[in-house]
């Protein structure tokens, strides 16, 4: 008989599941507040209407359900057959009648949550592969879903804001973005940037020449000599910095020398 509570017992994982569920509730609330005739309007994602965002968030839950089932059964089921198939599926689902589109999104979220709830403790460590080809433990699906639901709730452009995000989510998102830049661009490809959240102790120092191996400075003090000439310091609240780092505008931010805030590298 399926359990009605999480099989997982690891406190970190349970905290992650809670954050994902809060994000799902936040996304659902922002979506429910939108009338059907407002779904055709543009979202904050370039080229996407709100319909595309809803379709994508629903299909993302299905894709993560496939990874969770993979972990449960050992039978390989990738997130998507191909990037083309993923995009075509979003385009198609975005044309569904409003009620069908809402149902797809809601049901897919419930299904994913049931799969998570019933996943045995040891299966959370089973390796699965993300759409970008990274091999991660199944527990990573929780964070993958968390960032989707929270950030795309803002993308619905219906009053959602990074200012509503819990502090631990903002910190995890900013670290995730910086980590993604680092992985994709390598130490030599990183822009010379210091990110200074004014409401945090931590500072993110991105050293393009690799001189600062520890680019996250927990106490906020960047050691002398580790920041190369020409480095731009971007300063603002953790919420504003995270919004900017995820590619959603530079509102509220300033630079140390008053220059315009640079475009961030792509996140995902």
C-beta closer to Zn ion: residue 104 or 205: 104
Q: Rounded to the nearest whole angstrom, what is the least distance from the CB of residue 45 to Zn ion in the complex?
A: 8
C-beta closer to Zn ion: residue 117 or 267: 267
C-beta closer to Zn ion: residue 89 or 148: 148
* Count of residues that bind Zn ion according to CB under 5 A: 1
Q: Rounded to the nearest whole angstrom, what is the least distance from the CB of residue 152 to Zn ion in the complex?
A: 6
Q: Rounded to the nearest whole angstrom, what is the least distance from the CB of residue 203 to Zn ion in the complex?
A: 28
How many other C-beta atoms lie within 10 A of the C-beta of residue 151? Answer: 26
Q: Rounded to the nearest whole angstrom, what is the least distance from the CB of residue 57 to Zn ion in the complex?
A: 7
* 126-155: contacts with Zn ion (CB under 5 A): 148
Query: H helices within the chain, ranges in order?
Result: 11-32, 50-73, 83-93, 98-118, 140-155, 167-189, 238-245
For the residues of 112-154, what is the DSSP string, one character each? HHHHHHHS-GGGGGSEEE-TTS-EEETTHHHHHHHHHHHHHHH
Cα 225 from chain centre = 33
- How far is residue 165 from each of residues 110, 149, 191, 229, measured CA to CA in Å? 22, 11, 27, 34
C-beta closer to Zn ion: residue 14 or 92: 92
d(CA 52, CA 33): 17
C-beta closer to Zn ion: residue 154 or 206: 154
* 151-190: contacts with Zn ion (CB under 5 A): none
Q: Rounded to the nearest whole angstrom, what is the least distance from the CB of residue 40 to Zn ion in the complex?
A: 20
Residue number of the CB closest to Zn ion reads 148
If we measure between CA atoms, which residue out of 129, 172, 154 comes closest to residue 16?
A: 172
What residues line the site for Zn ion (CB under 5 A)? 148
């Amino acid at each position: 008989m399926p359990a009605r509570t999480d099989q997982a017992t690891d406190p970190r994982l349970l905290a992650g599941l809670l954050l994902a569920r809060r994000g799902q509730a936040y996304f659902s609330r922002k979506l429910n507040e939108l009338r059907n005739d407002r779904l055709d309007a543009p979202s904050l994602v370039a080229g996407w209407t709100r319909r595309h965002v809803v379709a994508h968030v629903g299909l993302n839950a299905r894709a993560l359900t496939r990874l969770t089932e993979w972990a449960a059964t050992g039978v390989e089921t990738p997130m998507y057959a191909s990037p083309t198939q993923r995009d075509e599926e979003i385009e198609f689902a975005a044309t569904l009648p409003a009620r069908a589109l809402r149902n797809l999104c809601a049901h897919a979220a419930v299904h994913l949550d049931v799969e998570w709830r019933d996943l045995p403790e040891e299966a959370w460590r089973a390796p699965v592969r993300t759409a970008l080809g990274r091999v991660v433990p199944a527990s990573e699906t929780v964070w993958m879903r968390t960032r989707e639901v929270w950030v795309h709730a803002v993308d619905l452009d219906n009053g959602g804001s990074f200012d509503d995000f819990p502090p631990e989510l903002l910190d995890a998102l900013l670290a995730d973005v910086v980590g993604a830049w680092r992985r994709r661009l390598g130490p030599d490809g990183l822009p010379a940037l210091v990110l200074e959240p004014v409401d945090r102790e931590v500072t993110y120092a991105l050293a393009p020449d690799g001189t600062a191996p520890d680019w996250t400075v927990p106490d906020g003090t960047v050691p002398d000599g580790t920041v190369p000439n020409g480095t731009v310091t971007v300063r603002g609240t953790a919420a504003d910095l995270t919004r900017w780092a995820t590619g959603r505008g530079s509102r509220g931010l300033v630079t140390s020398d008053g220059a315009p805030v640079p475009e961030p590298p792509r996140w995902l």
